[in-house]
Structure 1
Amino acid sequence: MFRYYYLKYSLLLIMLASTFAYSHPHSFITLKTSFYIQNDQLSRLHLVWTMDELTSSYLQIEYQQNPTQTLTDLVNNIAENNIFSEFSIMTNGKKLPIEITLQKEEAALTFNNHKATVDFWLNLKHPLPISNSKFELMTYEKTFYVDMYYEQDSDITINHNNCKIIIDKPKPSDEILNYAQALDENETAIETDSFVLGKIFSQKVLVSCK
Structure 2
Amino acid sequence: MLRILPALPLLTLVCAAPSFAHPHSFITLKTQIIEKDGQFTGLHMRWVMDEITSADLLYDAGDAKPGTEIWKKLAAEVMANVIGQHYFTEVWHDGKKVTFLPVPPEYGMAREGHQAVLTFILPLAKPQPLAGQRYSISTFDPTYYVDMSYEATHDVTLPAALAGQCKLTMTTPTPTADTQAFALSLDKEDAPPEDMELGKQFAQKVELQCQ
TM-score interval for Structure 1 and Structure 2 normalised by the shorter chain: 0.7 to 0.9
Q: Residues 155, 137 of structure 1: CA spacing in aligned structure 2 closer, same or farther, 3 A cutoff?
A: same
The answer to whether the 8 Å contact 2:29/2:151 transfers is yes
Q: Post-superposition shift, 1:32?
A: 0.6
The equivalent of 1:146 in structure 2 is 146
Q: Post-superposition shift, 1:191?
A: 2.3
The equivalent of 1:55 in structure 2 is 53
The equivalent of 1:43 in structure 2 is 41
The equivalent of 2:137 in structure 1 is 137
Provide the rounded CA distance (Å) in 1 between the counterparts of 2:12 and 2:137.
25
The equivalent of 2:16 in structure 1 is 18
Provide the rounded CA distance (Å) in 2 between the counterparts of 1:43 and 1:107.
16
Q: Post-superposition shift, 1:13?
A: 4.4
- Is 1:190 matched up with 2:188? no
The equivalent of 2:208 in structure 1 is 207
The equivalent of 1:126 in structure 2 is 126
Deviations 1:149-179 (A, max 9, x none): 0000010011212111111111210000111
Q: Which runs of 4+ in 1 moved over 6 A?
A: none
Match of 2:20, SS state, is coil
The answer to whether the 8 Å contact 1:17/1:54 transfers is no
The answer to whether the 8 Å contact 1:36/1:44 transfers is yes
Q: Residues 47, 72 of structure 1: CA spacing in aligned structure 2 closer, same or farther, 3 A cutoff?
A: same
Q: Post-superposition shift, 1:61?
A: 2.3
Deviations 1:173-203 (A, max 9, x none): 00001111111122222222xx210111111
Provide the rounded CA distance (Å) in 1 between the counterparts of 2:12 and 2:87.
16
Relative to structure 2, which stretch is displaced further, 12-21 or 182-191?
Answer: 12-21
Relative to structure 2, which stretch is displaced further, 147-156 or 104-113?
Answer: 104-113
Q: Residues 8, 44 of structure 1: CA spacing in aligned structure 2 closer, same or farther, 3 A cutoff?
A: closer
Q: Post-superposition shift, 1:67?
A: 3.1
Q: Post-superposition shift, 1:21?
A: 3.5
Provide the rounded CA distance (Å) in 2 between the counterparts of 1:15 and 1:163.
42
The answer to whether the 8 Å contact 2:3/2:81 transfers is no
User: TM (normalized to structure 2)?
Assistant: 0.86
Q: Residues 13, 79 of structure 1: CA spacing in aligned structure 2 closer, same or farther, 3 A cutoff?
A: farther
Provide the rounded CA distance (Å) in 1 between the counterparts of 2:184 and 2:24.
11
Match of 2:203, SS state, is coil
The answer to whether the 8 Å contact 2:24/2:146 transfers is yes
Q: Post-superposition shift, 1:142?
A: 1.2
Runs of 5+ in structure 2 lacking a partner? 65-69
Q: Residues 117, 203 of structure 1: CA spacing in aligned structure 2 closer, same or farther, 3 A cutoff?
A: same
Q: Post-superposition shift, 1:3?
A: 6.5
Structure 1 residue corresponding to 2:166, chosen from 158, 163, 183: 163
Aligned residues: 201
The answer to whether the 8 Å contact 2:143/2:199 transfers is yes
In structure 2, what residue type is equivalent to 1:163? C
Runs of 5+ in structure 1 lacking a partner? none
